[in-house]
Structures are given as C-alpha cells and as structure tokens.
C-alpha cells in the first residue's frame, strides 16, 4: 500500500476559476475589480461604462496592457456574479484595502474623480452605485461627487 499514495495534491495547478485574492492583486487588477463591481451594481455593463473604465485604467496606468486589463475585467465579472449581496460588499471592501495599499494619494484622488464619471456614464445613477460610492468614500477617504438627478 505504501507505493499507492495519491500524489495529486503535488500537481495542483491554478485552474481558470482560481482568481487572485484581493490581497494578491496588482494595481490594475484591483481597480478593474472595483470598477466592474460598480458597473454590475445595476445589473448590466453598457458600452459607455466600459469606455469610461478603459479611459480610467489608461489614465491611472499609462503603460497598461489592454489584453491583461480585459482578462481582469472578465475575471471580475465571473467572480462578482458568483457572490451574494453581502459577499459582494465584503469583497469590495477587501479590494479597496488593496487599492489603498498600492496606489498613492494622487492616484486615489484621481480614482475618486474617475469613479464619479463611471457611475454617471450610463445616464442613470442607481442605488447600488450610490451604496458602493459610499463604501469607496469611507475606505479610501475621498469624496465622490455624483449628480443624483441623472
């Protein structure tokens, strides 16, 4: 029996559905996960929101790889859609902790301004977006200006 030991655990490779924990994310990955959470908070991602996200990422990370950013965008959607409401909120807080670790004060301030644009980009401000904006303000100690009359 000694020669018949299951060695499967030695060969564990990261599967397609194993994503980085927020504590392991790169700057662009964490920002993309946050933006995706905002975009999905109203149940869908439209063209305007995706365009604002790409602009946001390219402004914060000028040397970014579009393919890499798109991969993070897809991963974020898959991961976020698997979570219930409470898990989503906890996940956002974890992502925000990572953003606070990785970005400097100027980048965080800029992110706040760009998140305002993201929330308003589809012409409708939903309660879920406002809720996430409040969580962002609390955790990143910034102000997000949103025209709630949109």
Report yes or no on 8 lying in a domain: no
**pLDDT by position in tens, the chain (length 150):** 444 444 443 434 444 457 899 999 999 999 999 999 999 998 889 999 999 999 999 999 999 999 999 999 999 999 999 999 999 999 999 999 999 999 999 999 999 999 999 999 988 899 999 999 999 999 999 999 988 777
Place of tokens 């604002």: 52
Residue 14 domain flag: no
Could you list the beta-strand ranges (E) of the chain.
none
In a domain, 92, yes or no: yes
User: Is residue 147 domain-resident?
Assistant: no
6 located within any domain:
no
- Show the domain range for 99: 25-140
pTM as predicted:
0.85
Kindly report the CATH number assigned to the domain that includes residue 79.
Answer: 1.10.3680
Q: Is 2 part of any domain? A: no
Residue-level pLDDT at 111:
95
So what's the pLDDT on residue 13?
A: 42
Number of domains the chain is built from: 1
pLDDT at position 17 is 56
DSSP string for residues in 20-53: --GGG--HHHHHHHHHHHHHHTTT---HHHHHHH
Residue 91 lies in a domain: yes
């Amino acid at each position: 029996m000694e020669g018949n030991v299951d060695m499967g655990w030695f060969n564990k490779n990261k599967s397609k559905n194993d994503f980085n924990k927020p504590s392991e994310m790169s700057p662009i990955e964490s920002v993309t996960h946050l933006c995706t959470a905002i975009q999905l908070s109203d149940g869908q991602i439209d063209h305007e929101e995706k365009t604002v996200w790409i602009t946001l990422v390219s402004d914060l990370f000028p040397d970014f790889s579009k393919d890499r950013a798109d991969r993070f965008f897809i991963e974020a959607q898959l991961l976020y859609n698997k979570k219930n409401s409470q898990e989503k909120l906890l996940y956002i807080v974890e992502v925000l902790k990572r953003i606070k670790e990785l970005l400097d004060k100027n980048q965080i301030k800029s992110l706040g301004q760009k998140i305002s644009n993201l929330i308003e980009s589809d012409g409708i401000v939903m309660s879920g977006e406002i809720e996430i904006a409040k969580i962002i303000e609390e955790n990143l100690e910034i102000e997000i200006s949103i025209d709630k009359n949109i």
